[in-house]
């Protein structure tokens, strides 16, 4: 089945710096790659997603890039703010189509 | 739009009891997914349902676990004869017809088995 690897597991940046989180996947049939932000004790929130026919997508301070050949995708957060501190999960659609396979998460800490 | 609703938010059970977790999808969504999250882990897919149909239960343990999404009412995840290893956060997500991959999550039910 699909295997999604995510790194780093923890990331600490200064406010205003950029943060990059990387994921790799194993199933070449995967075609949908969402990113979720989860604050402590809260629900995972969809922050951005990308489909396999697109190489890059941007939404204000957040961008995602996809390299289908290498089977990896990345989340980029620019001008980080303390409220960006959370656990971020990448996911990939499995070969069954709709079930999402999640990475283990990256705990991002943005210090003022 | 109230979003995906789950109840209860917290559930405590003793070993051997039954746990029933409920999920109401977002208005207009007809697809429901259940995921389990262990501490310090990502979410693991369990089951995908549409109204009155189980579409994919490949992530569901073979015994003690069952799920349904009746024509009327919420989706139910049922765990019989709970064991300590069932302690986890159980999240439900829903998606609209035609955009099934775009899943919006509920607040989760945190199950603790004593």
Residue A29 has which token pair? 């049939």
Task: Read off the tokens for B11.
Answer: 């559930």
Across the interface, whether the CB atoms of B103 and A100 are under 8 A apart is answered: yes
Is-contact A105 A87, C-beta < 8 A? yes
Question: Quick check: B42 and A36 CB within 8 A?
Answer: no
Chain B residues with CB-CB distance to A21 below 8 A: none
Closest-CA residue in chain A for B34?
A99
Search chain B and give the residue with CA nearest A103.
B42
Give me the tens of pLDDT residue by residue for chain A, a chain 112 residues long. 678 999 999 999 999 999 999 999 998 889 999 999 999 989 999 999 999 888 999 999 999 999 999 999 999 999 999 999 999 999 998 656 688 999 999 999 999 9
Neighbours of B1 (CB within 10 A): 7
Q: Tell me the nearest-neighbour CA distance from B114 into chain A, angstroms.
A: 20
Ordered DSSP codes for A9-70: SEEEEETTS-EEEEEEES-TT--EEEEEEE-TTS--EEEEEEETT-SEEEETTEEEEEETTT
Residue B65 Ramachandran class (φ > 0 left, ψ -120 to 50 alpha, else beta): beta
């Amino acid at each position: 089945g699909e295997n999604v690897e995510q790194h780093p597991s923890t990331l600490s940046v200064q406010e205003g710096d950029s943060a990059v989180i990387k994921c790799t996947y194993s199933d070449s049939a995967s075609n949908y790659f969402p990113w979720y932000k989860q604050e402590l004790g809260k629900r995972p929130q969809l922050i951005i997603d990308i489909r396999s026919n697109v190489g890059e997508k941007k939404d204000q301070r957040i961008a995602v890039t996809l390299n289908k050949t290498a089977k990896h995708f990345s989340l980029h957060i620019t001008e980080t703010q303390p409220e960006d501190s959370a656990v971020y999960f990448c996911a990939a659609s499995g070969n069954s189509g709709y079930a999402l396979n999640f990475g283990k998460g990256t705990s991002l800490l943005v210090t003022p | 739009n109230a979003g995906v609703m789950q109840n209860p938010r917290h559930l405590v059970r003793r070993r051997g009891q039954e746990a029933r977790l409920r999920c109401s999808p977002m208005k207009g969504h007809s697809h429901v997914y259940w995921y389990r999250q262990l501490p310090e882990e990502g979410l693991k897919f369990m089951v995908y349902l549409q109204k009155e149909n189980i579409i994919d239960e490949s992530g569901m343990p073979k015994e003690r676990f069952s799920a349904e999404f009746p024509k009327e009412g919420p989706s139910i995840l049922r765990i019989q004869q709970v064991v300590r290893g069932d302690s986890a956060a159980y999240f439900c997500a829903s998606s609209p017809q035609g955009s099934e991959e775009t899943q919006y999550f509920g607040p989760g039910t945190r199950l603790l088995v004593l």
